[in-house]
Amino acid sequence: MTSESFRLPVMMSTLCGSNNRRMIWQEANHTSPNQKSQIMLKNYFKIAIAVLKRKKFFTFISLFGISVTLTILMVLTAFIDKVVNDRYPDKKRDRLLYMNGIELRGPHSINGGTASLYFFDHYVKRLKIPEKIAVSSRIDQANAYVRDKKIRVAYKYTNDAFWDVLDFEFLEGKPFNRQQVENGEHVAVISEDTKKSYFGDLPSVVGKYIESDNVQYRVSGVVRNVPQTLYMIYSDIYLPYTVSKKDTKSTSYMGDYTAIIMAPSKEMLPAMKDEFDEMAGRLPVTDKQYDRVYCHADTFITGYVRTGHEEKSGVAIALTAIAVFVLLVMLLPTLNLININITRIMERSSEIGVRKAFGASSGTLVYQFIIENLILTFLGGVIGVILSLVVIHFINAAELIDNLELSLNTSVLFFALLTCLVFGLLSGVYPAWRMSRLNVVTALKA
């Protein structure tokens, strides 16, 4: 019988009690070679559970740190996943470029913001590649009154192409068309929440009137809610831009509008971006206090995180900020778990000495301890998933961000699994190495 056959039975009888000794001995000595690794993993699991039960306070502190850390990261991941992967209503993102701002720069002056209708009509719409250009204004707020109750609503102005570029789900009715926009008709498309708030439980509201900014508009359609995180698209009420009270005749580059530009196909997207960049580089500057115009038509992610309108997109800054946040969130519980693990190692020095005396190699001890730590981490991960579900439920119920519904989908759960693995390895490797370096004689005397 080899020394390996003695290691696990001796250790398990110490940790789990004499009642399990016969069973563990038989498992270690009367199995085929193909079953040996499975039995070792099974016994490592039993050892891990026994160790966790020894010091319940330390176990609680470890699980608390792991679960809270994972909860924070999972909620953050659920938010990022919602923003990045939820493609309603801009389902054709692989064909779209987003222009959300323009900036005039000079030696002593900077004027940044959104663009004017003049800019889109005289420059962007003259590009040859774009198939359609959805133009919409920034969000404005207005009060609507229903049965002496004030309702705060967000509204924006759009062109008719807005409904062709974006794939809104119409619950009833239809969008306003080009003729209605050109005629300046007082028509509106409203969100399902606005319908419920303003009209109550009416089965259909198409043809009825809603008030916004002291003007009555006839409802032409009702669309499914858009989350507020899609700031270029979100609104409660959508109106034709020709009914706006603001000056639409200005020849300035600066204004109140953004645009989503659609290519004929996703293969044409790079060429369309090159054409836009070439046009932007040739924009004339008539105001003497400025000497450069910055504007970009970006893919969704780049446009979403762009911090300014200069050459830097902001993607690197956003990724760095997320990485630093994740590192800071994980650093403290990782260090805490390392210290707890080292304390546990010192308490288990006699067990380690026995195993080494029976021939256990340093590699075997390291492997065992990392498996134990991963089990602890995954137990904390399960608790973290449950806590995340609770936190996400309260975030959704509180409606902190309009129409934003977070969820734990497969992508978020995969991230949680990956985080548990990384967390378990980071907090387990150094203590495991310390365990493997213990001297046999010193360990047995402890």
Q: Residues 77, 157: one domain? A: no
- The number of domains in the chain is 2
Rounded to 5 degrees, φ, ψ at 193 are -65, -40
Q: What is the distance between the alpha carbons of residues 163 and 443, in angstroms, rounded to a whole number?
A: 74
Amino acid at 158: T
Q: What is the distance between the alpha carbons of residues 333 and 422, in angstroms, rounded to a whole number?
A: 13
Q: Residues 74, 145: one domain? A: no
Beta bridge partners of 179: none
Q: Residues 118, 242: one domain? A: yes
Q: Is the dihedral of CA 237, 239, 245, 247 positive or negative?
A: positive
pLDDT for the residue numbered 362: 67
Residue with tokens 């105001």: 287
Bigger pLDDT: 81 or 130?
A: 130
- pLDDT tens for 85-127 read 888 999 999 999 999 889 888 888 888 889 999 999 999 999 9
In a domain, residue 179? The reply is yes
In a domain, residue 307? The reply is no
Q: Residues 71, 137: one domain? A: no
Residue 22: CB atoms within 10 Å: 11
pLDDT for the residue numbered 16: 46
Question: Which H or E run includes 138?
Answer: none
DSSP state of 100: -
In a domain, residue 305? The reply is no
Give the strand pairing for 187-191 and 215-223.
parallel
pLDDT for the residue numbered 180: 96
pLDDT at 235 over 90: yes
Token output for 426:
């980071």
- pLDDT tens for 296-322 read 999 998 888 876 566 666 677 777 888
pLDDT at 5 over 60: no
Q: What is the distance between the alpha carbons of residues 107 and 109, in angstroms, rounded to a whole number?
A: 6
Q: Residues 241, 329: one domain? A: no
In a domain, residue 45? The reply is yes
Q: What is the distance between the alpha carbons of residues 18 and 1, in angstroms, rounded to a whole number?
A: 21
Q: Residues 112, 143: one domain? A: yes
| Residue whose C-alpha is closest to residue 222's, from 249, 256, 193 | 193
pLDDT for the residue numbered 333: 76
- pLDDT tens for 51-75 read 667 767 777 877 888 888 888 888 9
pLDDT at 138 over 70: yes
In a domain, residue 300? The reply is no
Q: Residues 357, 287: one domain? A: no
pLDDT for the residue numbered 220: 97
Q: Residues 60, 178: one domain? A: no
Confidence grade of residue 404 (pLDDT, cut at 50, 70, 90): confident
Q: Residues 76, 115: one domain? A: no
pLDDT for the residue numbered 219: 96
DSSP state of 129: S
Question: Rounded mean pLDDT of 283-289?
Answer: 84
pLDDT at 15 over 50: no
Q: What is the distance between the alpha carbons of residues 374 and 367, in angstroms, rounded to a whole number?
A: 11
Confidence grade of residue 355 (pLDDT, cut at 50, 70, 90): low
Confidence grade of residue 290 (pLDDT, cut at 50, 70, 90): confident
Q: Residues 285, 332: one domain? A: no
Q: Residues 325, 257: one domain? A: no
Which residue range forms the structural domain that includes residue 348? 3-84+318-445
Q: Residues 183, 230: one domain? A: yes
User: What percent of the chain stands above pLDDT 70?
Assistant: 80
Q: What is the distance between the alpha carbons of residues 415 and 138, in angstroms, rounded to a whole number?
A: 35
Question: Rounded mean pLDDT of 165-173?
Answer: 96
Regarding pTM above 0.85, the answer is no
